[in-house]
Amino acid sequence: MTEIVIHEVGPRDGLQVEGKVVPTQVKEAWIRGLMDSGLDIVQVGSFVHPEKVPQMADTDDLFRRLTQDAASGPRAVLSGLVLNEKGLDRALACGAEMVCLGVSASETHSRKNTGMGTEEAQRRIIATAQAAAAAGKKVQVSVQSAFGCGFEGRIPDQRVLDIVRAYVDAGLLKVSLADTAGHAFPEQVKRLFGELHKLGPVECTAHFHDTYGLGMANICAAMGEGVTIFETSFAGLGGCPFTKVAAGNVATEDLVHSLARTGRRKDIELGRLVEIAKDVAAFFGRELPGRVYRAGTLGY
């Protein structure tokens, strides 16, 4: 069976909506634990203005700390979210290994998130992504609000596919569809990824929020369409602060637990992920959306 790749986005997507700022040394410990667990990619943070998202103010420092021991052996790839040209400059300067950039298929969400409409945002993101690739970085581009928008409702499939086609035409073939508002349902997921694969040799990633309880079902539907890369968050934490209803992601440990039960990705230390999820919940002093860290794991 094709191996599933897990891109942990908890340190960025998970924490960005939290008002209680996590100290840098605590974040670093969580990220190192995630890296040591055997996950494939860990998203350290986003290169945004610290006044807009104070939780991400230490992203550059974290990258410098975490890449100091890069020569010690195989480990997770460290990714960062870049919103514009200045963000890319910061990512290049501090040693980010993978650059993630995105455009919203929702005009309303795009303006709230970036201050630009979708068309203008995509022009700038494509140019920035090409610059990152030219600098030797791994690059992933995404379509946010691909399955629906809390402000606009249904997003036409063609609008999403047109954005992906522009990426492909620009030579950007690592593409993520993000369910920013959590509106996706399995039949829609199958249809959209099925159409996306017709656009060219695209390496697809899926990012689902569990707003309406269909996150894991949507992952299964995406797998059925050949998607092999999934973005998840420790303890199910997270949500976009610029969407109407900010709700959590599918929990990383829940996905790993599910995969292990079918004999896949048993190389990932599930116990380590559960401990991190418990630590995150204790730090914020509340129960988080993830299931496995609360219910315990099944040993079969």
Catalytic residues: 240
In whole angstroms, give the CA distance from residue 189 to residue 146: 10
- Contact call for residues 286 and 269 (beta carbons, < 8 A): no
Which sign does the torsion angle of CA 83, 84, 86, 92 carry? Answer: positive
- Contact call for residues 152 and 108 (beta carbons, < 8 A): yes
Burial grade of 1 (CB within 10 A; 0-12, 13-18, 19 or more) = exposed
- Contact call for residues 72 and 41 (beta carbons, < 8 A): no
Query: Which two structure tokens, joined as six digits, stand for 5?
Result: 């790749």
Amino acid at 299: G
Q: Is 249 helix (H, G, I), strand (E, B) or coil?
A: strand
The kind and range of the H/E element at 277 are helix 270-284
b/e 258-289 (16+ beta carbons within 10 angstroms → b): bbbeeeebeebebebbbebbbbbbeeeeeebb
How many H-runs (helices) and E-runs (strands) does the chain carry? Answer: 11, 8
Amino acid at 172: L
